[in-house]
Structure 1
Amino acid sequence: MAYYHLGEMIHHQAEKYKGRTALKYLSSEGKWMQMSWEELSGKIMQTARAMAELQIEPEENVGIYSQNMAKYLITDFAAYANRAVMVPMYATASPSQVEYIVNDAKIRVLFVGEQFQYNNAYKVQQECPVLEKIIVLDRNVVLKPEDKSSIYFDDFIATGDNSESLALVNARLRHLHGGDLATIIYTSGTTGEPKGVMLTHDNYVQAFIIHDARLNQISDKDLSMCFLPLTHIFEKAWTYYCLHRGITVAVNRDPTKIQETLRQIRPTLMSNVPRFWEKVYDGIQQKIEKSSGILKWLFEDSVRAGRKHNLLYKNQGKRPPIGNTLKFFLYRQTIFFLIKRVVGIDKGNFFPVAGAPLSDKINEFMQSIDVHLIYGYGLSETTATVSCFPDTGFTIGTVGKVMPEVEVKIGPDNEILVKGRTVMKGYYNEPAETAAVFTEDGFFRTGDAGRLTDNNEIVLTDRIKDLYKTSNGKYIAPQMIETRMSEDRYIDQIAVIGDERKFVSALIVPNYELLKQYALEHQLPCETNEELVGNKAVHDYLFGRIELLQAQFTSYEKIKKITLLPQPFTLESGELTNTLKLRRKIILQHYADEIGKMYEE
């Protein structure tokens, strides 16, 4: 298979696929539109010429602050054609977060998505002289009356329609180099200011090479849903990989409408975080629990048959018994099909999952009902994937086998160390941080603790910085406990407490809707969330469920006390990162009183 610099990749694909569909996207009227490879190539070149006309130079940092759109991808590849560097920002980022990145990366030109991003960007522009130009992707955005410098994307791309800009872009295309910086992706900043991860075109191309070697069940007949933010390395690298493979990409613009979008598009592929599959699992479990008699038995029997067929035989490279094969075929055409049809994944090939720990129970259940999850592990600094499940021969309880041409070893404190051509160039403007994160022999320190199996699979234990040490000297892995507790459908969010404490406790955001149903059935007061979570009977019911979940924990790992919260952890409060990870330091500050009460004698 041929491999190309990102600046030329789409144009080579256009020569191969011509009028075939490259992208699907929603119009402003809510209708799904198609863009061919030839059309995509043409729009990228038109945008690249406009960038050249705006005097965007090679190696210049260009910002994009938007939700997923077709124009987002066009902007990315147009910048690469000019050898410029793309700096993505989360669509949910606050003005202060945008300002930090704009100043750090010296961003002169910023592409923005909708009204929210434009309003914030314009505010930043008033206080940040380095930001000169805002280009608005969505034509429906209302510009400020006093704003005389911003321009709509459609008007912007018309500015490059001249021979000089065309010649300049063509010249730059002839000087593309794999060592060119492609992106600077700022980390979520769970433990301080975000750092800009520098990834080159060689990093991305190497990611393509190792995925081609691992994912032999993929083809250009697939259809991938682009759902996670393109700011996130997982989605960015995956979407680029799909385009490299000639796969049609459907761009989901509004994350809150993903269930509707899935049923409309019915993709064969979609990268996602465990949270999505936790919600799917909870929904299916509710349906099973509400069933009765023969229907409930059929549900449970189908899962048993699917587990035997997919995990005990097929995954082990063995032929299932004829009886199990026939039963599995029957359930796949009926129960499994109906479950997947409701979600919109009935045409699924496989679904990459990463970004946070996935419960073994949920992973096994989804594999059993014939939803093939490819669970993996990676970081921004490693151009996403370090390890992932192969098509068969994977082991539940691991995050998959180390990728081809990637070297992993376990360092002091069980830290996972990684070396390979997908590892970043370094942190932008942070030479000391860059030096500190590499070992003397060139391995990247991931900050994650784990171990390697005899089959070169990675078993994650926890983030080293997140490990708690109780006042009794015992080490606690909070993510492991949180992942186990999240299997319960009554628990929506959980933050485990225990550092320098006598025992483990937890702040819990319950599933208010389900908990209110329980309260109503038992005639308990629940008019408000405060009334609901303050009820002792409700508290005791949920704690009883927790006791069952932690039956296999050691005594010092077990949660001894819980506090139910009347409101969830949110991005706006600073308690979650843009990738929905807990900001433990902020949570400890915000809920200091509630935590203190759990440790009163």
Structure 2
Amino acid sequence: MPSTVPPATDRAARCAQTARGLTVPRLLHRNATEFADLPALTALGAQETLTWSALRDRVAHAARGLEALGLAAGDRMLINMSSRPEHWIIDLAAVHLGAIPSTIYATLSPDQIDYLARHSGAEIVVLEGDAELARWAPILAEVPTIRHVVTVAGPSSADGRVVTLADLESAGAAAHRADPEAFGERAREVSPEAPLTMLYTSGTTGDPKGVLLTHHNVMYQCVLIEDTITTPDHPASLAYLPLAHIAERILGIYYPLYRAGHVHVCPDQKQLVAGLAAVRPISFFGVPRVWEKIAAGVQAQISAADRRVRAAFEAAGEAARESHRLRAAGAPVPPELAARVAALDESVLRPLRARLGLDNLIWAGSGAAPIPVSTLVYLAGIGIDVFEVWGMTETTGTCTINTPQAFRVGSVGRVNPGMELRIADDGEILVRGPLVCAGYLAAGGGVESVTDADGWLPTGDVGVLDDDGFLTITDRKKELIISSGGKNMSPARIESLLRVHPLIGQAVAIGDRRPYVTALIVLDEEIAPMWARSKGLPDTSIAGLAAEPRMHAEIAAAVDAANAKLSRPEQVKAFRIMPSTWTPETGELTPTLKLRRRVVTDRHATAIDALYDTPSGV
């Protein structure tokens, strides 16, 4: 099998030429000039739609307002709000000044927010309303670099430190009318090599890393998408993932900007089903959990139908899956099978997809975590071919991609044109090329490189290449949990917070490819018996204490204390106290007492699976 994939030079050259010189401000100017009256941004269910001309005006006003607050090129700005049109406006306004906006997850704990506020050195933070202001209050009082706060739905302060977005835009509009050329001048100063955004991603040590992406990184990714997936001009899309996620950054902001598309903003993922039905997008990206829920919903509908309807779906699904199997193998689909699939799709499957809002799909993707092959095959049976992609924030999203023309189920596709991929001797995947980020933000404001001297980025993932260049991810070298919802989490941080309690000797956070985090708890072999004796318990053995209700209550309190310092996705929803200790001799620990995670997950698979069958501490 090959160990290296060189860049696809012809396509790479074409994409590089197309992306050359592009920046977000230049694209917004183009759209406001050439496509002024086309729709740009609509909040789901709202009556008002911002055209490209109106959006640029709002961005100009917000930019002049931010400039008056002192935001300048190279400054960082943190955004803590939900997906709503104002999020796009304030983000793009900062970009037009050459500043670096960074959206943070709404689920972060106060400790995590405090870390990001200090690490980023942000001078301005943008908050949604009263709830966010209350969470940020201690941070605003203690972090001296934060000079101003902009609130979308909250009050302003008498001292001028907190201003409303409405007041900011009003003041900015007056400044723009007085000097209409200033906005364009600032925008033209932004170069393709300048940072466009910063996204914080979990590090293996537990400290988030601020990934700096340039305009060229993002523009090249947008050009690649257009070159790979043929879609109509001005496509409609549904933005529902957090804008702290690289996928939504690309698909919800930058790619629609590049294509002058129409973004429908879904502020709450609970509205996703209604949003899909309303928008009926031509492309849709979902983390595995989204696709699993869609598949489960369809299964429930079909199971509840009468025997005749179930038989029709089974016949249509069997034909669709056979076509999918042949295409995945690169084999031709016989004409008679193709005709049968087309007829059954029109009469049986397409109406089902129409009820889901997925009947217009040209491309459907999944990424951020592995998706079960069984889910992909089931969805193919209702006429939805979901193509896995692979990448990371540091590679501006996708680095490899499956397409309708070339895909392998279970693989993450072939490497993007212009990118090089190499498998190191230990199996780790290394990549380099125009999608690799500018680096990590250093605490002092500098930039730390993410690559070696030859430009290779070690991804932390382990994989193999087949003879046709398709990459399959087989393991993860870095210790990082990626939930089935696509959330990246550091197990080290979760485990260290659990081990703060003296009764806990070892803790292993579980959650990779799972819907939520659980933990295996090992009692401290010295402290636990002492605690038992102090409580007058007759059985002081580790096995006995693991089943003791009072010990369970004590560990539950320790888990609650740890959860208070964790974001919601990181919080431990269930745990099990193990009946014996772990040592190098038992195999769960190395000679230097480091966890052997593979051994733990393999050896205790039954206990782990039980935590997801019964989500409560046992």
> What TM-score, normalized to structure 1?
0.76
Q: How far did residue 221 of structure 1 move?
A: 4.3
Report the secondary structure of 1:465's partner residue: coil
Matched, 1:591 2:575: yes
Specify which structure has the bigger relative contact order, considering alpha-carbon pairs within 8 angstroms and separated by 6 or more residues.
2
Check the 8 A contact 1:272/1:352 in 2, yes or no: yes
Question: What's 2:349 paired with?
Answer: 336
Question: What's 1:305 paired with?
Answer: 319
Report the secondary structure of 2:472's partner residue: strand
- Counterpart code for 1:110: V
- Counterpart code for 2:34: K
**Structure 1 CA distance for aligned equivalents of residues 480 and 120 of structure 2:** 32
Once the two structures are superposed, residues 122-153 of structure 1 have per-residue CA deviations (whole angstroms, 9 ceiling, x without a partner) of 34212222222111123xx4x38878532221
Q: How far did residue 367 of structure 1 move?
A: 2.5
**Structure 2 CA distance for aligned equivalents of residues 191 and 204 of structure 1:** 27
- Counterpart code for 1:11: H
Report the secondary structure of 1:334's partner residue: helix
Once the two structures are superposed, residues 388-415 of structure 1 have per-residue CA deviations (whole angstroms, 9 ceiling, x without a partner) of 1122120001011111101110113211
Report the secondary structure of 2:434's partner residue: coil
Question: What's 1:200 paired with?
Answer: 214
Instruction: Classify 1:43/1:445 alpha carbon distance in 2 versus 1 (closer, same or farther; 3 Å).
Output: same
Q: How far did residue 52 of structure 1 move?
A: 1.7
Instruction: Classify 1:266/1:414 alpha carbon distance in 2 versus 1 (closer, same or farther; 3 Å).
Output: same
Q: How does 1:478-489 map to 2 (within 5 A)?
A: 483=513
Which residue among 260, 265, 285 is the counterpart of 1:271? 285
- Counterpart code for 1:461: T
Q: How far did residue 189 of structure 1 move?
A: 4.4
Matched, 1:397 2:397: no
Q: How far did residue 317 of structure 1 move?
A: 6.6
Check the 8 A contact 2:401/2:415 in 1, yes or no: yes
Matched, 1:225 2:243: no
Q: How far did residue 243 of structure 1 move?
A: 2.0
Instruction: Classify 1:320/1:19 alpha carbon distance in 2 versus 1 (closer, same or farther; 3 Å).
Output: farther
Report the secondary structure of 2:49's partner residue: strand
| Structure 2 unaligned residues grouped into runs of 5+ | 1-17, 482-507, 523-546, 548-555, 582-602, 608-618
Question: What's 1:214 paired with?
Answer: 228
Check the 8 A contact 1:190/1:577 in 2, yes or no: no
Instruction: Classify 1:574/1:165 alpha carbon distance in 2 versus 1 (closer, same or farther; 3 Å).
Output: farther
**Structure 1 CA distance for aligned equivalents of residues 520 and 431 of structure 2:** 30
Question: What's 1:352 paired with?
Answer: 365
Q: How does 1:112-191 map to 2 (within 5 A)?
A: 112-138=127-153, 141=154, 143=155, 149-160=161-172, 161-162=174-175, 166-189=180-203, 191=205
Q: How does 1:455-494 map to 2 (within 5 A)?
A: 455-466=468-479, 483=513, 493=516
Instruction: Classify 1:122/1:146 alpha carbon distance in 2 versus 1 (closer, same or farther; 3 Å).
Output: farther
Q: How far did residue 32 of structure 1 move?
A: 4.2
Question: What's 1:96 paired with?
Answer: 111
Check the 8 A contact 2:518/2:575 in 1, yes or no: no
Instruction: Classify 1:119/1:346 alpha carbon distance in 2 versus 1 (closer, same or farther; 3 Å).
Output: farther
Once the two structures are superposed, residues 65-89 of structure 1 have per-residue CA deviations (whole angstroms, 9 ceiling, x without a partner) of 1111111111122111111111211
180-189 or 80-89: which moved more?
180-189
Q: How far did residue 364 of structure 1 move?
A: 2.1
Question: What's 2:590 paired with?
Answer: none
Question: What's 1:73 paired with?
Answer: 88
**Structure 2 CA distance for aligned equivalents of residues 38 and 173 of structure 1:** 16
Q: How far did residue 432 of structure 1 move?
A: 14
Check the 8 A contact 2:81/2:128 in 1, yes or no: yes
Q: How far did residue 109 of structure 1 move?
A: 0.8
Once the two structures are superposed, residues 297-333 of structure 1 have per-residue CA deviations (whole angstroms, 9 ceiling, x without a partner) of 22222111112234425983735323x2333223222
Check the 8 A contact 1:49/1:165 in 2, yes or no: no
Once the two structures are superposed, residues 140-196 of structure 1 have per-residue CA deviations (whole angstroms, 9 ceiling, x without a partner) of x4x388785322211111112225664443322232211211112111346411011
Q: Percent identity?
A: 25
Q: How does 1:216-295 map to 2 (within 5 A)?
A: 217-239=230-252, 240-291=254-305, 293-295=307-309
Across the aligned residues of Structure 1 and Structure 2, the Cα RMSD in angstroms comes to 3.7
Check the 8 A contact 2:102/2:197 in 1, yes or no: yes
- Counterpart code for 2:469: N
Report the secondary structure of 1:271's partner residue: strand
Check the 8 A contact 1:133/1:149 in 2, yes or no: yes
Instruction: Classify 1:156/1:24 alpha carbon distance in 2 versus 1 (closer, same or farther; 3 Å).
Output: same
Instruction: Classify 1:495/1:51 alpha carbon distance in 2 versus 1 (closer, same or farther; 3 Å).
Output: same
Once the two structures are superposed, residues 186-208 of structure 1 have per-residue CA deviations (whole angstroms, 9 ceiling, x without a partner) of 11346411011111112112212
Check the 8 A contact 2:26/2:188 in 1, yes or no: no
Runs of 4+ in 1 over 6 A off after TM superposition: 144-147, 430-436, 478-482, 496-499, 569-572, 574-578, 597-601
Q: How far did residue 373 of structure 1 move?
A: 2.0
- Number of paired residues? 506
Report the secondary structure of 1:318's partner residue: coil
Once the two structures are superposed, residues 226-255 of structure 1 have per-residue CA deviations (whole angstroms, 9 ceiling, x without a partner) of 111111111102221122012211111112
- Counterpart code for 2:341: F
- Counterpart code for 2:87: Y
Which residue among 401, 420, 423 is the counterpart of 1:388? 401
**Structure 2 CA distance for aligned equivalents of residues 429 and 291 of structure 1:** 58
Which residue among 21, 24, 29 is the counterpart of 2:42? 24
Question: What's 1:540 paired with?
Answer: none
Check the 8 A contact 1:52/1:168 in 2, yes or no: no
Report the secondary structure of 2:563's partner residue: coil
Which residue among 379, 384, 390 is the counterpart of 1:371? 384
Q: How far did residue 596 of structure 1 move?
A: 5.3
**Structure 2 CA distance for aligned equivalents of residues 144 and 595 of structure 1:** 56
Instruction: Classify 1:313/1:60 alpha carbon distance in 2 versus 1 (closer, same or farther; 3 Å).
Output: closer
Q: How does 1:562-581 map to 2 (within 5 A)?
A: 573=563, 580=569
- Counterpart code for 2:39: T
Q: How far did residue 498 of structure 1 move?
A: 12
Q: How far did residue 351 of structure 1 move?
A: 2.2
**Structure 1 CA distance for aligned equivalents of residues 565 and 323 of structure 2:** 42
Q: How far did residue 467 of structure 1 move?
A: 9.5
**Structure 2 CA distance for aligned equivalents of residues 595 and 338 of structure 1:** 53
Instruction: Classify 1:85/1:145 alpha carbon distance in 2 versus 1 (closer, same or farther; 3 Å).
Output: closer
**Structure 1 CA distance for aligned equivalents of residues 329 and 36 of structure 2:** 38
Once the two structures are superposed, residues 445-467 of structure 1 have per-residue CA deviations (whole angstroms, 9 ceiling, x without a partner) of 11111111222221001211349
Question: What's 1:542 paired with?
Answer: none
Instruction: Classify 1:467/1:21 alpha carbon distance in 2 versus 1 (closer, same or farther; 3 Å).
Output: closer
Q: How does 1:427-446 map to 2 (within 5 A)?
A: 427-429=440-442, 437-446=450-459
Instruction: Classify 1:81/1:434 alpha carbon distance in 2 versus 1 (closer, same or farther; 3 Å).
Output: closer
Q: How far did residue 295 of structure 1 move?
A: 2.6
**Structure 1 CA distance for aligned equivalents of residues 77 and 188 of structure 2:** 21
Question: What's 2:539 paired with?
Answer: none
Check the 8 A contact 2:210/2:440 in 1, yes or no: yes
Question: What's 2:465 paired with?
Answer: 452
Instruction: Classify 1:431/1:107 alpha carbon distance in 2 versus 1 (closer, same or farther; 3 Å).
Output: closer
Report the secondary structure of 1:250's partner residue: strand
119-128 or 45-54: which moved more?
119-128
Instruction: Classify 1:107/1:431 alpha carbon distance in 2 versus 1 (closer, same or farther; 3 Å).
Output: closer
Instruction: Classify 1:452/1:482 alpha carbon distance in 2 versus 1 (closer, same or farther; 3 Å).
Output: same
Check the 8 A contact 1:25/1:250 in 2, yes or no: yes
**Structure 2 CA distance for aligned equivalents of residues 114 and 317 of structure 1:** 55
Q: How far did residue 482 of structure 1 move?
A: 6.4
Once the two structures are superposed, residues 333-392 of structure 1 have per-residue CA deviations (whole angstroms, 9 ceiling, x without a partner) of 233223223322222222222111111111122223221323201101111110011221
Check the 8 A contact 1:228/1:271 in 2, yes or no: no
